[in-house]
């Protein structure tokens, strides 16, 4: 596959790396559905394909594109963001110690708390936004992996990838970053020293709320990467080719979608900051946000499409606000072209650090005036 290094990520994505189908000269690649492949007469598999659980060319095309956008050497695409993250944690093997942040995707936090110990993996959660806490939690020789999520769900805390990479490496650990919400448009963790980048490709990478997928992008094609590939193969965690095709189609517009969503989020964050019914706006693009300075350093060109607001009047007022929207959709998930609003505490449960008066907003790419009028009316309480 040709990968001209001089082209910008936006160009690489729009053309899906410029791939042309060899036989038909089609601009859009075919979907490869075969689960088995013919052996050569001398008993070898020169095509590189033997069976569907390890091998799929449509999946490889998605991997090549995501890997190019992240500057990774090897990328694995899996059936969901959760399966990508779990494949990586299982790759560490029993006895591994992991340092993970307090602020992170709730379902993965629940897996690390409730399930990982059964696989011999111990986890300490720290405030990763403060490098001193992160460093203090590292156990040299025992800590195998430091996990970051930045900006992090649902308070949009920002962690310093470069600083965390230095600390992790000094302790002999690798740094993995859940970059789902930053996207490769705004942050390239590998260039900042991260060893692995994880995506819920269900979100911005696909961008149309119609595919579940995950990705692991490795800076080096090393033993950890090989282990994750083996786990994906043996557990049957590879993405289905139809979904891989849709993912490639979504990726073509990643750059314009993500920039439009981030511009809407920035505008809404500014306007909501002056709203009488809002006690706080959490968005890394706002100068008073505690992670703003780090975000300005490590996010290039925008602060993402995700923000949260705290509603005056507590949980009841927040839920009532969500009940009144018409243009925004009351739904979980994020990163699609349509704007979503969600009362997170209802989904995250009792041990979540999410305040009860918080509404999470995933800004889509609609006209910002339509989004503003709708949320303004919902907050003010007029029907
Ligand atoms: C959605 C999400 C995940 C989990 O991904 P799935 O594709 O739903 O399995 C992990 N991390 C973040 C930040 C997410 O938003």
Residues 156-195: pLDDT tens digits? 999 999 999 999 999 999 999 999 999 999 999 999 999 9
Judge whether 45 counts as a catalytic residue. Answer: no
Q: What are the phi and psi torsion angles at 263 (to 5°)? A: -65, -40
Query: H-helix or E-strand containing 314?
Result: helix 314-324
CB of 35 closer than 8 Å to CB of 55: no
* Selection from 28, 29, 14 nearest residue 254 by Cα: 14
206 lines ligand 1 (CB under 6 A): no
pLDDT on residue 3: 53
377: enclosing H helix or E strand: helix 368-380
Do 268 and 361 touch, CB atoms closer than 8 A?
yes
pLDDT tens digits along 309-343: 999 999 999 999 999 999 999 999 999 999 999 99
Go through the domains of the chain in sequence order and give each one's CATH number.
9-251 (3.40.640.10), 255-380 (3.90.1150.10)
Give the position of tokens 């190019």.
68
pLDDT of 6: 84
C-alpha 148 – ligand 1 centre gap (Å):
13
User: Does the annotation mark 178 as catalytic?
Assistant: yes
pLDDT, position 1: 54
From the list 60, 144, 203, 259, the catalytic residue is: 203
What integer pLDDT is reported at residue 272 of this predicted model?
Answer: 98
Pocket test for ligand 1, best of 104, 105, 205 (most atoms within 8 A of CB): 105
Q: Residue 236: phi, psi to the nearest 5?
A: 65, 45
Per-residue confidence (pLDDT) for residue 351, from 0 to 100: 75
For residue 154, whether the previous peptide bond is cis, meaning omega lies within 30 degrees of 0, is yes
Distance 65 CA to ligand 1 centre (A): 20
Overall pTM > 0.95? yes
CB-based burial, 79-95: b 16+ in 10 Å, e otherwise: bbbbbbbbbbbbbbeee
- Both structure tokens of 154: 């649902």
Q: Which residue has the tokens 């993996």?
A: 121
Structure tokens at 122: 């111990």
DSSP code at position 73: S
CB of 181 sitting under 6 A from ligand 1: yes
Are the beta carbons of 152 and 161 closer than 8 angstroms? no
> Which residues in the chain land under pLDDT 70?
1-5, 382-383
| Per-residue pLDDT, 353 | 83
């Amino acid at each position: 596959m040709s990968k001209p290094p001089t082209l910008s990520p936006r160009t690489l994505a729009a053309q899906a790396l410029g791939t042309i189908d060899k036989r038909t000269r089609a601009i859009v690649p075919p979907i490869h559905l075969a689960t088995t492949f013919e052996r050569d007469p001398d008993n070898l598999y020169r095509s590189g394909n033997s069976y569907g659980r390890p091998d799929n060319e449509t999946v490889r095309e998605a991997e090549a594109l995501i890997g190019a956008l992240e500057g990774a050497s090897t990328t694995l695409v899996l059936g969901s963001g959760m399966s990508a993250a779990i494949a990586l944690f299982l790759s560490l093997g029993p006895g591994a110690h992991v340092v993970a942040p307090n602020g992170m995707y709730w379902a993965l936090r629940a897996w690390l708390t409730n399930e990982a110990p059964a696989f011999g993996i111990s986890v300490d959660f720290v405030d990763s936004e403060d490098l001193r806490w992160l460093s203090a939690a590292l156990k040299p020789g025992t800590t195998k992996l430091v996990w970051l999520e930045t900006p992090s769900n649902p308070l949009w805390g920002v962690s310093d990838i470069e600083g965390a990479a230095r600390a992790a490496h000094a302790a002999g650990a690798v740094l993995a970053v859940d970059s789902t919400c930053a996207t490769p448009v705004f942050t390239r963790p590998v260039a900042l020293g991260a060893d692995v980048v994880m995506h819920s490709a269900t979100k911005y990478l696909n961008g149309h709320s119609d595919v579940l997928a995950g990705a692991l992008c490795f800076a080096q094609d090393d033993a950890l990467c090989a282990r994750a590939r083996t786990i994906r193969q043996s557990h049957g965690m590879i993405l289905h080719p139809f979904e891989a095709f849709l993912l490639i189609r979504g990726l073509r517009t990643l750059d314009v979608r993500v920039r439009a969503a981030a511009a809407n989020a920035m505008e809404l964050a500014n306007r909501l900051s002056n709203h009488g019914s809002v006690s706080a706006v959490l968005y890394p693009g706002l100068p008073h946000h505690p992670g703003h300075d780090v975000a300005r350093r490590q996010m290039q060109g925008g602060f993402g499409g995700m923000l949260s607001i705290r509603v005056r009047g507590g949980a009841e007022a927040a839920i009532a606000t969500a009940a009144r929207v018409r243009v925004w959709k009351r739904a979980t998930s994020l990163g699609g072209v349509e704007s979503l609003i969600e009362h997170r505490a209802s989904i995250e449960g009792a041990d979540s650090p999410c305040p009860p008066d918080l509404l999470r907003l995933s800004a889509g790419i609609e006209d910002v005036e339509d989004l503003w009028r709708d949320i303004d009316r919902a907050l003010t309480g007029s029907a």
